[in-house]
Every structure is written in structure tokens, then in C-alpha cells.
Amino acid sequence: MTELITTIRTMNLISQRYHQQGKSIGFVPTMGSLHEGHLEMMKQSASENDITVVSIFVNPLQFGPNEDLDNYPRDIDSDFEKAQSVGVDYVFYPSEQEMYPERPTIEVKAGELATVLEGKQRPGHFDGVVTVVNKLFNIVRPQRAYFGKKDAQQLAIVEKMVDDFNQQVQIVPIDIIREADGLAKSSRNVYLTEQERTEAPHLYQSLKLAHSLYEDGERNSDKIIAETTAYIKAHTSADIETVAIYSYPELVEQSHISGSIFISLAVKFTQARLIDNIIIKSEES
């Protein structure tokens, strides 16, 4: 039976009890509005750990002044049901007041990895991410934590944070879960108009095009980016914010591709800003 936990103290005590019993804790941090991608992470955690904890917390520190904090979808009853359906043991659902009784005075900075891509578009976003993830790791004290590859930059930053701070948690990356037509599952997909929903799968098709160019031997980033951009423009009405190629997980922009990379894009439809990527592991690395 899944339990709903709303206070840090109770979550601490539960975690302490399982640690004393020698049981492993898997952790899936989310902001709610759960979809198949989240549920896949929960299923994997449940299969690999004695206990699975899911957090649902819309973290205000990672939203900019003109972003959709107030409009971010929230439905704890639906989220709780979904988490329960895949064997989650605890849903940690703290209020903003519980997590931040006052604005943090000690700041955690995401550093150099946050100066590109999403971090460049959304200044301070990843500082908010590493702050809340640090807090959640300290509250839940998991042995394993599960993060989706859709937010590949976030994944790289969290992995680096764990390494730099010597945190005793294993980060488990989970492949992007897609709709049947290829659209990456996202809480923001609900904001797409009917027409935009028919266009959105072309984002993944553009990444597949980029991958095929790479597979055919193309190593000039500008050429891959130009063809990918042209494809998106030809098949969608979205405004293109980013099409870029970076080393992974170092996040260094590539002009001539070598080693492992990720090809990342961000586009803006009328009410939905969507990101997607593919990570290419190279034998050259």
C-alpha cells in the first residue's frame, strides 16, 4: 500500500528505519503531472530496490520570472494513483513552506555545465535544480536515484554534482519514453494545440535525420545542424530556439564531432516549449 508523506521529519524517520534494516531505497524525483516516462523510472526502481520513494514537488527555485510556475499542471490525486499502480511505496509530497520555510541563504551553483543550452536559455534554472536535488537526497537518502535522458543536460549536471560532492547515491539514467509516433513524453505536451500535436513528432524525426547523417560519416556539426534545422522548419510551425551538438557528458560544443555527443533541440510552439535529444556513444571516445 502506497503512503503519502508530507513532512520532512516523517520522511527522514522512514528513511532511517530502512537504512537500519539494511534495505535499499530507490528514489524518483518529479514535479508531478506524471506520465509514462516517470512511471517507467518508478517500475525500474521497484524492480531494483527494496523500497521506492517518489517525490512530487514543483520547485519554485528552478522557474524564471516569466516561466509557467503558477500554470504548471498539478493533480496529486491522479499522480498518487499512478504511482500506486506501479508499486511505489511512498509518495513524498511536501509543501513549498515545508521545503523552503525561508529562502535558502546558502546557495548551490550548477557551475560551468549550466552555462550552455537550457542553462543559457534559463539563467538560474539549474542552480534551482541542484539545490532541490541536494535537499531531496538528504531527506530521502536513497542508494539509487532515477533520472530521464530527455533532460540530458540535467542528468549530466546531477551526475557531476554527485561526483563532486562525494554523495553516496548511484544515478541511474533512463531512456526517453516516447509516444507511438515518436514524440517524447512530457508534462508540457498537454499545451499543444491539435495541429501542433500532429507537427510535434517531427522533432524526433529531425533527430533521426541527424543521427543518420552521423552514421553516414558526417562529422561537421554545422552541416548536421543546418539539415536538422531545415527539416524542423519544413515540417512544423514552431520557433526554433536551439539545435546544437555537444560532447557528452562534458557539454562542450562541437564543431568537428569526436567522441560521445548529444544532439539537442528546443522549440517553442504557441503554449508549449519542447526539448528533445539523442545521445550517441562513439567508439572513438
User: Which residues fall in the annotated binding site for beta-alanine?
Assistant: 62
The predicted-structure confidence for 255-285, as pLDDT tens digits, reads as follows 999 999 999 999 999 999 999 999 998 765 4
211 part of the active site? no
CATH fold of 3-174 reads Rossmann fold (3.40.50)
Are residues 187 and 73 in contact, defined by beta-carbon separation less than 8 angstroms? yes
Tell me the CB-side half-sphere exposure of residue 86, using CA atoms within 13 A. 23
- Whole-number percent of the chain with pLDDT over 70: 99
Dihedral of CA 95/99/105/107: which sign?
negative
Residues 63-68: what's their mean pLDDT?
Answer: 82
Instruction: State how beta strands 170-174 and 239-247 pair.
Output: unpaired
Task: Please tell me the predicted confidence (pLDDT) of residue 285.
Answer: 43
* Set 38, 202, 211, 235: catalytic member: 38
Domain locations in the chain as residue ranges: 3-174, 187-278
Look up residue 239 and give its amino acid: D
Query: Model-level pTM?
Result: 0.92
C-alpha cell belonging to residue 192: 499543444
**Class of the domain covering 187-278:** alpha beta
pLDDT for 90 beyond 60:
yes
Of the candidates 260, 258, 198, 53, the residue with the CA atom closest to the CA atom of residue 136: 53
Look up residue 192 and give its amino acid: L
DSSP E strand stretches across the chain:
3-5, 25-30, 51-56, 90-92, 144-148, 170-174, 239-247, 261-268, 273-280
Same fold, 3-174 and 187-278: no
Q: How far apart are CA 154 and CA 159, in angstroms?
A: 9
Are residues 85 and 54 in contact, defined by beta-carbon separation less than 8 angstroms? no
The predicted-structure confidence for 223-240, as pLDDT tens digits, reads as follows 999 999 999 999 999 999
User: Which residues fall in the annotated binding site?
Assistant: 31-38, 62, 148-151, 154, 177, 185-188
The predicted-structure confidence for 190-206, as pLDDT tens digits, reads as follows 899 999 999 999 999 99
User: Which residues fall in the annotated binding site for (R)-pantoate?
Assistant: 62, 154
Q: How far apart are CA 110 and CA 175, in angstroms?
A: 23
Of the candidates 255, 233, 230, 229, the residue with the CA atom closest to the CA atom of residue 242: 229
